[in-house]
Structure 1
């Protein structure tokens, strides 16, 4: 009953946030851009509520130490108040809304009062420009007043409930924005399947207070993969130390991801902004889990010089072959493989789940076979799962999940499991973008059980092959099967 009540509260709060703000934006902002205004104000109000109980003490503390450098002040605040961010302004949204003049100036001053470690959120949201648009339309005061009345505090909405609110608002924003937003959001059903498979073989190493895992997403988008994976591990061991790492190029997606992690209790520096192909912000680091839904069919010609320079370094992430510049998927797959923790004596290694289109499987350009050959020779490919079509927001084409592992279980070594999951789906009541199908719990469990069984299943949902079988050159692709041709035809 408590869970149901929490869910109802989250849904009601999200509806109030969206619908009232929706009315305030009408005829001022294009309907498809509503989310660009509603999301940052929602984030601002949540952060304000999170700081509410300590704001006065922090302001007084900061005033007494104004001569200290900013980075030392951040350390001192974190140590004394257990806060990962703060605000030194005496203002809040209610104070700003209490008068109807100088609203833009006051709001700008208030935003400038937040600690430097989250300043990039407001820059990435392009918040100053959004505020100016509302001010010039004489709507800023009404919007500030609306959000100042919302109770988004932790006592009303815990981190999980607030995450549900934020996801609901992002979902509504996506519905307005359309297909282009598919690069930012990965459907939760797809993420749940990826996470379930990744942690399927976790054992007693997850037990105890000393258990720790790291999770990395090089194309973090709105941070959903990191958060869902963290929640799954915490359900297995609530005391586990789970650290999150992400990188995202698009400013708006970066802002969403960093904000979502922050409002759910994460650290401000969990996601960094930048081009993963050009500048890996986590160079020389490896991780226990890697999840990624890289952009499908992304042209990387603008990054060609940097990628080629890296490829020239022996043993680098791109030294195993380069795909054509029309599609960067294989580059991301090679990058994800390079970020996996190596096999350890205790049996632990690194595992990855990476979404791809058919191209990395079947493309015969010079580069992809080189990368595939390296993955196979190193015995990194654990499984490839065919997903239903029409499952992702931005594409209706066939998609797959590559499962990589640096330390396979003994029975899985030198084997590759192909899982035909394209028939495991139910129809969405209302399509969203290109997404018309979803993998329900039973659908995902069918794939997960097939993965765990690790056998040639009948009917043919699973096929176990050797890397030699997989060294294909020509491919036949029936629409309903994951089918590959080696020296002799291999069909599931």
Structure 2
């Protein structure tokens, strides 16, 4: 029997959205589909492992071992097994909720991951709709042996997250950063084997997963990375946890809570420190926690407290405070953070004078879900190479993208160009410039890219004397032509013209 392909899996999962269409809001699809996908996967793998134990040790010993939770990454109790859920023809929502709760109780690493998803919403999720969903998932085999590639389930999950972000419009941007933008930042900050990587606004976990992919792509051991994150939205936190687990990344630490008001990754009453920090915080968040900043016990706001109506520099300063002495951070910011004055201007001045900004990269418009606000990437480095100290590299990459119907995307060639210029750290006319801190200081610490990179095309200088000479030639030609025409007309008997 042929193994399941990536395309077949993605198509199957997306069709599950069609079953829900019209019953619930599209922005809610993801929780229900991800929840069923997750429990079906765990149930299938559990039975696969159970069969292996009996085959390997014989029926008598194998049956005993098969009931030992220590033999499994996730032990699936009877109530949570797929075939048990499928036995019920009514009150299906309650049965699924109980299956989730039982599964969490048996596996502490899943605590709180599945129970926020409420399938017992009879007014919208009827037994008939849930029965169709269960039937749909029953037709697909998610055992390891049936997957044509080891990480295909994780990649199918990422595909679904992207599709739901697109479907959910503005809400999609709250939990998902476009994959190509994430790829760019990861290639700029370059995580390495053995590092601790942290995303303080981790959404669905895509930035952490791509950090692992980067290390794997360089031939390193991806399991050597330690992954950390925090996410305020409970449902999105659940998605992040499932996403990492389905990518085969069980050793991670994703906390629930508000990163600014209540940072949860703390050791001995101090912020944990990381080798790499990567994030796409909400743009210019109004209720970011200004009231908590005055009493911050972690020393995060040493450059100043941001204004109440824009939390961009609250997240930036949290990231800087979370870096090890030689750590590097990459963050997506709205362009306004580059030039707004007042409290933000003072914070920007302090960060620049501390020589923490390595690069400012302007991105094309229309890359992000639900917003047309122009964005940029800021790279912070606590230990810049000697030749980069006292300088900031500006890259004007706004023009490099593939235009899309609803959303623009970065092409591989666009990403390569930006990363190559960042790595070589060189001037390219109209695209990149290295600017000293003194020049930035003379511009009141304004980081607006257009101040430092002239994108206008020089007009060709007009040689006035040449133009006059050309006009004279044209006038003489006109006189000659007129004289010839008069001669022809005389010969024909028409007289002068």
Q: TM-score, normalised by structure 2?
A: 0.80
Which of 350, 354, 357 is residue 334 of structure 2 equivalent to?
357
Q: Secondary structure at the match of 2:98?
A: helix
Q: Which secondary structure state, in structure 2, belongs to the residue aligned with residue 438 of structure 1? A: coil
Match of 1:69 in 2: none
| 1:411-422 equivalences in 2 (<5 Å) | 411-422=387-398
Partner of 1:194: 185
- Correspondence 1:198-217 to 2 at 5 A: 198-199=189-190, 211-217=193-199
Provide the residue aligned with 2:434 in structure 1.
Answer: 464
Alignment partner for residue 413 of structure 2, among 442, 451, 459? 442
TM-superposed CA distance for 1:154, in Å, is 2.5
Superposed CA RMSD in Å reads 2.8
The structure 1 residue matched to 2:319, chosen from 324, 330, 336, is 336
Query: How big is the shift at 1:55?
Result: 5.1
Q: Does 2:242 match 1:259?
A: yes
C-alpha separation in 2, matches of 1:59 and 1:173:
41
Question: Quick one: distance in 1 between partners of 2:97 and 2:126?
Answer: 15
In 2, Cα distance between the equivalents of 1:378 and 1:82?
A: 50
User: Which residue among 127, 130, 141 is the counterpart of 1:140?
Assistant: 130
Work out whether residues 33 and 176 of structure 1, in 8 Å CA contact, stay in contact via their aligned partners in 2.
no
State the partner residue of 1:384: 360
Alpha-carbon offset, residue 398 of structure 1: 1.3
Q: State which drifts further: 409-418 or 34-43.
A: 34-43
Q: CA deviation at 1:322?
A: 1.4
Q: Is the 8 A contact 1:93 1:147 kept in 2?
A: no
Q: Is the 8 A contact 1:380 1:405 kept in 2?
A: yes
1:421-464: CA deviation from partner (whole Å, max 9, x where unpaired): 11111112x32xxx2x2110111111111112212212x21111
Partner of 2:141: 151
C-alpha displacement at 1:271, in angstroms? Answer: 1.4
SS in 2 for 1:374: helix
- The structure having more radius of gyration, on CA atoms, is 2
Query: Which of 378, 398, 401 is 1:425 aligned to?
Result: 401
SS for the counterpart of 2:228 is: strand
User: Residues 282, 30 of structure 1: CA spacing in aligned structure 2 closer, same or farther, 3 A cutoff?
Assistant: closer
1:379 match: secondary structure? coil
Equivalence for 1:161: 152
Residue 375 of structure 1: aligned partner: 351
2: distance between equivalents of 1:304 and 1:146? 48
Are residue 304 (structure 1) and residue 277 (structure 2) matched? no
**Alignment partner of 1:116 is 2:99:** no
Tell me, which stretches of 5 or more residues in structure 2 are unaligned? 54-61, 456-497
- Say whether the 8 Å CA contact 2:65–2:71 is kept in structure 1: no
Alignment of 1:8-157 (within 5 A): 9-19=5-15, 21-54=16-49, 77=69, 80-81=70-71, 83=73, 85-89=74-78, 91-101=80-90, 103-114=92-103, 115-124=107-116, 126-129=117-120, 132=122, 136-157=126-147
Corresponding pairs, count: 435
Instruction: Tell me the distance in 2 between the aligned counterparts of 1:325 and 1:53.
Output: 54
In structure 2, the residue matched to 1:483 is: 450
1:327 positional shift: 1.1
The structural deviation recorded for 1:116 is: 2.8
Q: 1:140 deviation in Å? A: 2.2
CA separation of 1:105 and 1:449: change in aligned 2, threshold 3 A: closer
Residues 191 and 225, structure 1, Cα contact 8 Å, conserved in 2: yes
The residue aligned with 1:292 is 279
Q: Is 1:222 the equivalent of 2:204?
A: yes
* Partner Cα distance (2:21, 2:396) in 1: 46
Aligned equivalents of 2:94, 2:447: Cα separation in 1: 63
Partner of 1:232: 214
CA distance in 1, matches of 2:447, 2:236: 37
Mean CA deviation greater in 259-268 or 378-387: 259-268
- In the alignment, what sits opposite 1:72? none
Partners of 2:230 and 2:88 in 1: how far apart? 40
Judge conservation of contact 2:366–2:372 (CA < 8 Å) in 1.
yes
TM-score by length of 1: 0.81
After superposition, give the CA deviation of every residue in 1:187-206 in whole Å (9 maximum; x if it has no partner).
1111111111112xx8xxx5
CA distance in 1, matches of 2:80, 2:272: 41
Contact 1:163 1:260 in 2 (8 A): yes
Alpha-carbon distance change, 268 to 109 in structure 1, aligned in 2, over 3 angstroms: farther
1:11 touches 1:168 (CA, 8 Å); kept in 2? no
Residues 134 and 384 of structure 1, relative CA distance in 2, 3 Å threshold: same
SS at match of 2:370: coil
